[in-house]
Amino acid sequence: MSADIDTLSDFSSGNDGARRFARWLAGFALHGGSILAFAALLIFFSITAPFFFTLGNIGNVLGQSAILGVLAIGLTIVIIGGGANVVKGGIDLSLAANLGLSAAVYATLVSTGHGDGVAIAGALLTGGLIGLVNAIAIVIFGIVPLLATLAVMNVVAGLELVLTQNTVVSAASDFLSVLSNYGPFDIPVLAYVLIIFTIIAAGIVQYTPLGLRLYAVGAFPEAARAAGLPVKRIVASSYIASGLCGGLSGILSVSYLSGSTTGAGEMLLPVVVTALLSVVFSRRLVPTIGGTLLSTLLVGFLTNGFQLLNISSTLVSGIQGILILLVVAATSLQRGKGVA
Amino acid sequence: MSEIKDSALAIGRRNLLKAGLAAGATLAVANAGLLGTSSGAAAAEEEIPSLKGKRIAISATGTDHHFDLTAYNAQIDEVKKLGGEPIAVDAQRNDTKLVSQLQTLIAQRPDALVQLLGTLTVVDPWLKRAKDAKIPVFTIDVGTPNSLNNTTSDNWRIGSDLALQLVSDIGGAGNIVVFNGFYGVVPCAIRYDQLKAVIKYYPDVKIIEPELRDVIPNTVQDAFSQITAILNKYPEKGSIKAIWSAWDIPQLGATQALVAAGRTEISTYGVDGSPEVLQLVRDPNSPAAGNAAQQPEEIGRTAIRNVARYLAGQKLPRETYVPALIANKKNIEEVTKTLRLG
């Protein structure tokens, strides 16, 4: 419950030396430890798993992570802008359903004879509209994001059922086959898409005044309002950006699966987990775009390495669960809560 | 072997049914042809080539249904038994995961790849990529030109056997309710077409229009409410004789609805041999009257044996049919024994 990470924590209470040390240790262990663990994991797989450390395999993992990565980056933007409190902060539960509906719109448009241009516009418009509805519900009606996006998620999932009759809509087009193919150096095109998208998103969120305002609004909404920042507009934009990420991931998913398929909703928990894990990859333990990419790739490499080592992939979700427990425990410790 | 014995029984029943029908000759011819195709499984006693030193990739769409799980485990066991190394991955019915796993499997360059089930349009591009990468591709229940051999149940025979059981049970006359929601899925379409082919020669058997549409998910609850509604529409006993569905999860819901409404004079029929439905068939008071039970263990084993045969240079047929067993109130004990469910 107390997974909100704010930079204030260093100043709040706790003169007790032992407690301060525990917090310092937790922060250090969490950030340094997770980077080290990631590196150790890559080295371990490189030594033990055949094919692991090859350009082709790393490219495959990047490509396989593209859909999850784009969605998780969308969620990260919302978490940055809404604050990281899991209950009251920014969250977009409609993202996975958004992926499903956007993919269904794209596949339906292509399979009914429309061009890729129309289909791309249709998918992005669908995603953007879902983001807009979220934004209106949260900013204008003041509904808690957790509930607002939960309701929107159900509406969107219902619309997908109406559109596809819960069936697979196959789609084939020139653009889709380019996306699902291999690019330079025999690396999947989706891998390039993920890298370029991450660079653009990170550029905007981490290095522009707009990004700084987003962090300000999320971490200190009162201060941001006092400083004259358009808090509501910035929060609304974060949901629209997240919706557009849903639309984009829908397009990627259609290319990857040669159509739209049912069961997109299952992506929700992995997306939330990935975005939450991203904090351990930033020095100040805040969500960042780069951190989200690393956390997406961590899961991707784990799954891939396990398959190459012929270990059951069901273990991956168990390891993910342990990681989250560690993250939440360590961030609680770092904030000085959760220790008696 | 018991499946052969069973098919002999089935023919006996068929001939009885056909006795009064001039048109029966057509079916008899078809039947003879089908018997020919099922001989592959009967030849299980032959020497199977070793898979020593071979890495066999097994990709399953999911293992949450009895059929998948049994076929998946049977494949892994058979690869080990023949001395090979299985690389088995289960996508847990998640298509994105399925494609990622196939992509990584292709990069692993196994000696052969076996795909168990899957939506054709999703898996086929990746099976083609595996084929292009010179990996021999095999399938279970996936008909695609990119696979060297597809092991599957004989759905024509399943369809006609089940239809004949139904027609025989209702005495060749009466209204039947049909779930036909998945005509787009090839095995379901074949089974439905076989039902129509059989009742064509029984003019007193009528399918109630409109046909019902079974759905996924919530199949059981949905079938329950649809059947409850149609029972209200046909309240008189005898106005409906039987309920047919192309798989057995709607049969489960339909059977429960009949029990709840006290209309156990109506019989239900379905396909797949799900253990919970076979349990109902065993219960003498349950309306579940017939179920075409596939043999997932035999199917998984056969697919791997085909891989071994191919890698040893033997020629394979395009499709290998594994016979299904029609379970009814009389032979249920024997069928469950054969399926090792008992």
Residue B339 phi, psi (nearest 5): -80, -5
Q: Which two tokens stand for residue B66?
A: 């009895």
Contact B94 A166 (CB under 8 A): no
Could you tell me which of B146, B269, B259 has the C-alpha nearest to residue B205?
Answer: B269
Integer CA distances (angstroms), A303 to A41, A275, B60, B97, B103, in order: 12, 17, 16, 10, 12
Per-residue pLDDT of chain B (342 residues; tens, 9 = 90+): 333 334 334 444 444 444 334 333 333 333 433 333 444 444 445 788 999 999 999 999 888 778 889 999 999 999 999 999 999 999 888 889 999 999 999 999 999 999 998 888 899 999 999 999 999 999 998 888 999 999 999 999 999 999 999 999 999 999 999 998 877 777 888 999 999 999 999 999 999 998 998 887 688 999 999 999 999 999 999 999 999 999 999 999 999 999 999 999 999 999 988 889 999 999 999 999 999 998 899 999 999 999 999 999 999 999 999 989 999 999 999 888 887 764
DSSP secondary structure string for all residues of A42-110: HHHHHHHSTTTTSHHHHHHHHHHTHHHHHHHHHHHHHHHHH-S-TTTS---TTHHHHHHHHHHHHHHHH
pLDDT (0 to 100) of residue B45: 58
Residue of B nearest to A314 (CA): B90
Asked if residues B263 and B241 have their Cβ atoms less than 8 Å apart, the reply is no
pLDDT (0 to 100) of residue B267: 96
For residue A63, list chain B residues with Cβ-Cβ distance below 8 A: 103
Pairing of strands A259-260, A169-170: antiparallel
Are B166 and B243 part of one and the same domain? yes
Q: Which two tokens stand for residue A33?
A: 């430890």
CATH code, B334: 3.40.50.2300
Could you tell me which of B192, B253, B172, B266 has the C-alpha nearest to residue B218?
Answer: B253
Residue B18 lies in a domain: no
Q: Please report the sign of the dihedral spanned by the C-alpha atoms of residue A290, residue A291, residue A292, residue A294.
A: positive
Asked if residues A176 and A110 have their Cβ atoms less than 8 Å apart, the reply is yes
- Alpha helices for B133-185 (secondary structure H): 155-169
Are B63 and B182 part of one and the same domain? no
Beta bridge partners of B139: B115, B150
Are B47 and B181 part of one and the same domain? no
Intervals of chain A under pLDDT 50 = 1-14, 337-340
Are B135 and B272 part of one and the same domain? no
Residue B4 lies in a domain: no
pLDDT (0 to 100) of residue A105: 96
pLDDT (0 to 100) of residue A333: 67
Contact A258 B87 (CB under 8 A): no
Q: Which two tokens stand for residue B183?
A: 């005509």
pLDDT (0 to 100) of residue B46: 72
Q: Write the pLDDT tens digit of every residue in A232-279.
A: 999 999 999 999 999 999 999 999 998 888 888 888 988 988 888 888
pLDDT (0 to 100) of residue B338: 82
Q: Which two tokens stand for residue A19?
A: 């407690």
B-facing residues of A in 149-188 (CB < 8 A) are 166-168, 170, 180, 188
Are B275 and B126 part of one and the same domain? no
Are B121 and B58 part of one and the same domain? yes
Residue B235 lies in a domain: yes
Residue B7 lies in a domain: no
For residue A180, list chain B residues with Cβ-Cβ distance below 8 A: 125
Mutate to test the interface with A, among B79, B90, B94, B121 (most CBs of A within 10 A): B121
Q: Which domains, ranges and CATH numbers included, belong to chain A?
A: 7-334 (1.10.3470)
Are B86 and B124 part of one and the same domain? yes
The number of distinct structural domains making up chain B is: 2
Asked if residues B180 and B192 have their Cβ atoms less than 8 Å apart, the reply is yes
Residue B14 lies in a domain: no
Domain that holds residue B224: 155-295+327-338
Q: Write the pLDDT tens digit of every residue in A140-181.
A: 998 999 999 999 999 999 999 889 877 788 888 889 989 988
For residue A267, list chain B residues with Cβ-Cβ distance below 8 A: 96
Check if the interface score ipTM surpasses 0.95.
no
Question: How many A/B residue pairs have CB atoms within 8 Å?
Answer: 63
Q: By three-state DSSP, how is residue B153 classified?
A: strand
Are B126 and B168 part of one and the same domain? no
Q: How crowded is residue A107: how many other Cβ atoms within 10 Å of its Cβ?
A: 31
Are B47 and B79 part of one and the same domain? yes
CA distance A101 to A156: 7
Are B117 and B170 part of one and the same domain? no
Asked if residues B161 and B328 have their Cβ atoms less than 8 Å apart, the reply is no
What does the radius of gyration of chain B's CA atoms come to, in whole angstroms?
21
